[in-house]
Amino acid sequence: MEKISVNKEIKVALAGNPNSGKTSIFNALTGAHQRVANFPGVTVEKRTGRRRYNGYNFQFVDLPGTYNLSAFSPDEKVARDFIINENPDLIINVIDSGSLERGLYLTMQLIEMGVDVVIDLNMWDEAKESGLEIDTQKLALLLGAPVVKTIGNRGQGIDGLLDAAVGLVENKDKGHRHPPVTYGPKLDDIVADLSQEISSCGSCRACRNPRWVAVRMLEGDKDIEGEILTHNRNRARVRSRLGQSIKHIRTTTKNDPEFALTEGRYGYVAGVVREVVKRPTSDRMQLSVYIDNLLTHRFWGYPIFLLLMWLIFQATFKIGAYPMDWINAGASWLQAEIGSLIPAGIISDLLINGVLGGVGAVAVFLPNIVILFLGIALLEDSGYMARAAFLMDRLMHYLGLHGKSFIPLLMGFGCNVPAIMATRTLESRRDRILTVMLIPMMSCSARLPVYVLFAGAFFGAHAGNAIFSLYLFGVAAAILMARLLQKTLLRTAETPFVMELPPYRWPTWKSIVIHMWERTRIYLNKMGGVILIASVILWGLGNFPVKKEFSQDYDAQIAQYSSQNTPEAKAEINRLQILKSSEKLEYSLIGRLGHATLPAVQPLGFTWEMGISIITGFVAKEVVVSTMGVLYHLGDETSTLIKTL
């Protein structure tokens, strides 16, 4: 290879199906760390990266994973528009070697668009293990595109991809053409006629690739049709020809043109696959069937599922509680340290209670989130997630949700924050929104102290039943809400459930760590900021305006008692401090808000003390209990509070 073209820019887009390992190829190409998916539709945003290789400056764009470029879904539209508008020098088309057929369907569409394609047969190792043999030379010949074998999650074959890309770019002028996709003689003729009408214009943008435009118009692509009918000089004839062609296809194939073409394209792909693949009966698939026999068994399926859920739940919230304690202890220690360094006053208070308290509140969820996503990553990467959806779909379908929504909802009983994070595993936006709206109805563990307080106060001996019915009530409310939302705000059609049940596989540590880190990072970036700011604002509301004059001189009295070292004196100090903070809180903005909202909560039988407690509960639900303790001048003892109420 000549080295004259130093610093030449090569713009590459990565396209491929969801699940094809496209993200891991992107990581290997650019060195950026991302989440590796084992379930459709995870890469939604556009990611870019750079790489220098043999004197070339590569610029990579990771397109959303799609099966199709028909521009019916937002992901497909993003991918298609990028290819049309940004004109990448070439596309690396990542294909899961194990499902070559589906991957090549997208390849056909890329080739039709007239872009240069490097075909990346990814997960080569798995295909090989399962006994699949692919004749790559023949494939390259049939498609007129270089074919490279890679193992994305181990970074193998990446140089081969880059070499093939350089080769394509350097030989562009040599007319490296892909043979046209054929749809069978009848359809080919119709497409050819229409594309001739389009190209006779000779000046508009669409004329550059009339065949693709013709196909897209027949497939009912309104964007493309709109462009032709405004810019093409021959638009009147194109329009009438389009109408004739559509009718013609309908009569000859007894099918919609869109599906006639889709099936034609699939037929072509099937032909190619038949030529290049030797497929012995797959042991791995067979093994999967055996595992399925147990895991989705009529009797054992649910117990095993519930056991796994229980394990993840316990690990997240029980094991997670230990590091949470350490974080809390660490935060308190730090608060005390800073308190001793900076003279007491408004600034030290802001630092200690506002900022550090806020950071603590953010950090305290970290163990939950890391452990929960470790569990989810294991489920996804092993292939069990799809089975969980398979098992739960019947129930979730009743709520208008996909089977996968079960896990976030269940985690809601532990803590809403990680549960809402877990909705990121859902594919469709609608499902995510609906699930997020239902999660708050699940009584999280932080609400338990509040329940215990009120149930103890009002139901006495029946407290246990009262608490249990609160949980049930939450679930019932969620069901009602789901039914209601479906009929009102979220009326868009339910996502189709049909999905792949991928063969089981051993998850790799690397991919799981990347998974966890990616989710944790999102939490810190997106949620961390919000929680931190909200904590500081609430701190401000609870401390301003500063109360200077109290009904009694608490400080003097406290000072007086602190010289004595008797238990009575300590109790007295404690009592005085509570009285002081109670007055302070009542005087602050939160206290005033509590008083101001009294007319709204009074009909519920609430007092202003309860109103204030509800507001402080925004930070964390269990805070309601401690605020009430302060306001009723009782301290933290739940039992005495129960008696008072």
Partner 1 sequence: MLEISGAGALRRRFLDLGLRRGEVVTMIKAAPLRDPLQVSLGYGHISIRRSEASLITVEVILDGKDIRK
CB 350 within 8 A of CB 338: no
Q: Kindly tell me which of 288 and 435 has the beta carbon lying closer to partner 1.
A: 288
Q: How far is CA 505 from the centre of its chain?
A: 22
Q: How far is the CB of 182 from partner 1 (least distance, A)?
A: 17
Q: Which stretch binds partner 1 (CB under 8 A): 4-12, 52-60, 393-401, 411-419?
A: 393-401
Q: How far is the CB of 136 from partner 1 (least distance, A)?
A: 18
Counting contacts by CB under 8 A, is residue 43 touching partner 1?
no
Residue choice 77, 279, 432, 505 for contact with partner 1 (CB under 8 A): 279
Counting contacts by CB under 8 A, is residue 63 touching partner 1?
no
Q: Kindly tell me which of 37 and 573 has the beta carbon lying closer to partner 1.
A: 37
Distances (CA, A) of 191 to 181, 257, 335: 11, 11, 74
* Alpha carbon distance 226, 119 (integer Å): 32
Residue choice 262, 469, 557, 581 for contact with partner 1 (CB under 8 A): 262
Residue 470 identity: L
Q: Which stretch binds partner 1 (CB under 8 A): 51-59, 112-120, 289-297, 315-323?
A: 289-297
Counting contacts by CB under 8 A, is residue 290 touching partner 1?
no
Counting contacts by CB under 8 A, is residue 253 touching partner 1?
no
b (16+ CB within 10 A) / e for 473-507: ebeeebeebbeebbeeebeeeebeeebeebbbeeb
* Alpha carbon distance 21, 13 (integer Å): 15
Window 191-230: residues binding partner 1 (CB under 8 A): none
What dihedral do alpha carbons 369, 374, 376, 381 form, nearest 10°? 150
Beta-sheet pairing, 47-53 with 56-62? antiparallel
Q: How many CB atoms lie within 10 A of CB 560?
A: 14
Counting contacts by CB under 8 A, is residue 68 touching partner 1?
yes
Q: Kindly tell me which of 59 and 262 has the beta carbon lying closer to partner 1.
A: 262
From residue 360 to residue 379, what is the string marking binding to partner 1 with x (rule CB under 8 A)?
--------------------
Q: How far is the CB of 502 from partner 1 (least distance, A)?
A: 7
Residue choice 81, 223, 500, 553 for contact with partner 1 (CB under 8 A): 500
Residue choice 336, 501, 530, 571 for contact with partner 1 (CB under 8 A): 501
Backbone angles phi and psi of 433, in degrees to 5: -65, -45
CB 186 within 8 A of CB 252: yes
Report which of 451, 471, 445 is spatially closest to residue 463, judged by C-alpha positions: 451
b (16+ CB within 10 A) / e for 615-635: bbbebbbbbbbbbbbbbbebe
Place of tokens 């001189």: 553
What stretches of 544-622 show up as alpha helix (H) in DSSP? Answer: 554-562, 567-587, 589-596, 598-601, 608-616
* Alpha carbon distance 591, 578 (integer Å): 15
Counting contacts by CB under 8 A, is residue 394 touching partner 1?
yes
Q: Which stretch binds partner 1 (CB under 8 A): 232-240, 258-266, 477-485, 560-568?
A: 258-266
* Alpha carbon distance 17, 12 (integer Å): 17
Q: How far is CA 43 from the centre of its chain?
A: 9
Counting contacts by CB under 8 A, is residue 102 touching partner 1?
yes
Counting contacts by CB under 8 A, is residue 429 touching partner 1?
no
Counting contacts by CB under 8 A, is residue 289 touching partner 1?
yes
b (16+ CB within 10 A) / e for 98-123: bbbebbbbbbbbbbbbebbbbbbbbb
Counting contacts by CB under 8 A, is residue 73 touching partner 1?
yes
Beta-sheet pairing, 8-16 with 56-62? parallel
Window 480-499: residues binding partner 1 (CB under 8 A): 493, 496-499
Counting contacts by CB under 8 A, is residue 502 touching partner 1?
yes
Q: How far is the CB of 130 from partner 1 (least distance, A)?
A: 9
Q: Kindly tell me which of 199 and 288 has the beta carbon lying closer to partner 1.
A: 288
Q: Which stretch binds partner 1 (CB under 8 A): 43-51, 150-158, 291-299, 408-416?
A: 291-299
Q: Which stretch binds partner 1 (CB under 8 A): 64-72, 201-209, 407-415, 559-567?
A: 64-72
Counting contacts by CB under 8 A, is residue 308 touching partner 1?
no
Q: How far is the CB of 417 from partner 1 (least distance, A)?
A: 30
Cite the beta strand spans of 130-270 per DSSP E.
Answer: 133-134, 147-149
Residue choice 5, 54, 57, 70 for contact with partner 1 (CB under 8 A): 70
Q: Kindly tell me which of 156 and 282 has the beta carbon lying closer to partner 1.
A: 282
Residue choice 58, 60, 82, 105 for contact with partner 1 (CB under 8 A): 105
Q: SS3 for 275-328, per residue? A: HHEECCCCHHHHHHHHHHHHHCCCCCHHHHHHHHHHHHHHHHHHHCHHHHHHHH
Residue choice 32, 144, 266, 479 for contact with partner 1 (CB under 8 A): 266
Counting contacts by CB under 8 A, is residue 401 touching partner 1?
no
What stretches of 342-462 show up as alpha helix (H) in DSSP? Answer: 346-349, 357-363, 366-382, 384-398, 406-411, 416-422, 429-438, 448-459
Residue choice 67, 523, 608, 632 for contact with partner 1 (CB under 8 A): 67
Counting contacts by CB under 8 A, is residue 569 touching partner 1?
no
Q: How far is the CB of 248 from partner 1 (least distance, A)?
A: 20
Please report, as ranges, the residues that interact with partner 1 according to CB under 8 A.
67-68, 70, 72-73, 98-99, 101-102, 105, 259, 262-263, 266, 279, 282, 285, 288-289, 292, 296-299, 301-302, 386, 389-391, 393-395, 397, 403, 493, 496-503
